[in-house]
Amino acid sequence: MQFKKLLPKLLIVAFVVAFGILCAFTGSITAPVGTLWSLFPPVIAIGLALITKEVYSSLFVGILMGGLLATGFSPLKTVDSITSEGFISAVSGSAGIFAFLVILGIIVALLNKAGGSRAFGNWAAKHVKTKIGASLATFAFGVLIFIDDYFNCLTVGAVMRPVTDKAKISRSKLAYLIDATAAPVCMIAPISSWAAAVSSYAPEGEGLSLFVQAIPYNLYSLMTFVFIIAITLMKFDYGPMKLHEMNADKGDLFTTGEHKGDADELEEGSPKAKVIDLVFPILILIAICVFALFYIGAGGNFSANFITAFGDTDATVGLPWGGLIALVITLIYFMARRLISFKDAMACVPKGFIAMVPAILILTMATTLKNMTGLLDSDAFVKEALANAGALQSFLPAIIFLVACGISFSTGTSWGTFGILIPIVLAIFPVGSELGIIGMSACLAGSVCGDHCSPISDTTIMSSAGAQCNHINHVSTQLPYALTVAGISLVGYLLAGFVQNVYIVLGFSLLLTLGVLFAIKAITKNK
């Protein structure tokens, strides 16, 4: 057992030592620009991530290999390249996203400290009476918080826990509802930190436009919503979730591994807080971010076309622009309502930053790896290699979906996955083509799917904590549901690669989802 625990660390050390020896004994060589070697850094990062299930060190080794190849294995040039063209460029290019993440973290901390989350939960517990109503209310609230998945997980669990407990919904089911809306809704919302992150990996000025075009083909996210609504209205569950829900009907919300409250709890805050103290800041944040994105895209011209402005906007500027104003308004509002003191409000600033550190680290390293791969001109190689792919290209969306699922599941991160794959996907397909949009959607959908299934995903862990649910219970109960939607999505991408018609693909996927659920209900009815 000890060797198995040490194996991932030994693999990382072995790669680093091997690279160091190679640098020491290899003279300066010509950088393999535009060749098969240009794909070696992301392949190394993916391979190590799959083996070690650890994303940070795997990304770093990929970055190191990219720097060595780009500089012809010159040690000093490698360090300079990784530092200046890698990390510094990544941080400066993603500074807007970092600012938005920190602002979100601060707003979440303020909402908890002021008591808005607790007030909304108490109100909902009085007005939502049925099990179906509680499930749909949790789903709807999760969809409403589409700005960021961390924001979603940090809020929905604490707010809806009293509601679902009263309706006798198991904590495992609550954790699934949180997890199944957090990342999927962010992946189809143009006004979110995810949209900004995806945009940063696309060609300058085209990021948000590509993201919006990919939404209709994001089958995993869309079919997950259909799945939740359908299984709630059909009043059945299957797999391990069925046992948890049966026990919840008898009063046992946990089945096994009752949560003792050892995870971070959201603070109750002021007893004077009301429902509006949660709703108002969220609406302000959404409204101002929408306006900011329009204003940036329109160049200050208020008569500009709304859709055109959104296509031309820069999310890395618009989101922090709107978030900062919303933060100031929220702070003034809470202090005017005397829900929080200035001292307590300032204490929320470092809390917000700390909550967002993992996302910032992943984004920095993934962007740095992209920069290193760009120095090797991998786009040119992939385009040339697949220029005559012919009929094979029709299968690529399904293949991309599976690859993204595997990477995201093993590493526990969506951002790291699409950070690696988006540059390659954009290089494979013609820019602006329908198949290219489908490929982009498959990449994003697969990233969300793997993250949703992964027990080491930060979103999965935070969903368990938000629902105060045993983490193993959450993973084991939601996995059959997530895999069902994943299978449906895979069939949808196989069809999409050939018909390339969004209406046919969505209609087919919708009918397939409902058909599969009716079949599962019939099969499991007497079990």
Burial string for 339-360 (b: 16+ CB within 10 Å, else e) reads bbeeebbeebbebbbebbebbb
Residue 229 CA from chain centroid, whole number: 21
- CB within 8 Å of 257: residues ≥ 6 apart: 470, 472, 473
- For the chain, the distance separating the N- and C-terminal CA atoms, rounded to the nearest angstrom, is 38
Any idea which of 4-8, 88-92, 470-474, 503-507 has the lowest mean pLDDT?
A: 4-8
**In angstroms, what CA-CA distances link 57 with 46, 79, 224, 478?**
11, 17, 32, 28
Alpha-carbon distance of 59 to 259, in angstroms, equals: 34
Asked if pLDDT for residue 413 goes beyond 70, the answer is: yes
Alpha-carbon distance of 342 to 357, in angstroms, equals: 24
Within 13 Å and on the Cβ side, how many CA atoms surround 357? 6
pLDDT at 263: 39
Cβ-in-10-Å burial (0-12, 13-18, 19+) of 279 comes to: middle
Site of tokens 């209406």: 503
Alpha-carbon distance of 507 to 511, in angstroms, equals: 6
Confidence (pTM): 0.75
The 8-class DSSP code of residue 86 comes to I
Greatest CA separation for the chain: 73
Within 13 Å and on the Cβ side, how many CA atoms surround 310? 14
Q: Alpha-carbon dihedral of residues 424, 427, 431, 432, nearest 10 degrees?
A: -30
* pLDDT tens track for 304-354: 777 667 667 777 788 888 889 999 999 999 999 999 999 989 998 998 888
Instruction: Report the number of secondary-structure helices (H) and strands (E) in the chain.
Output: 25, 0
Alpha-carbon distance of 96 to 293, in angstroms, equals: 13
Reported as a pLDDT band with limits 50, 70 and 90, residue 377 is confident
* pLDDT tens track for 128-187: 878 999 999 999 989 988 877 877 776 787 778 878 888 899 999 999 999 999 889 989
pLDDT at 264: 43
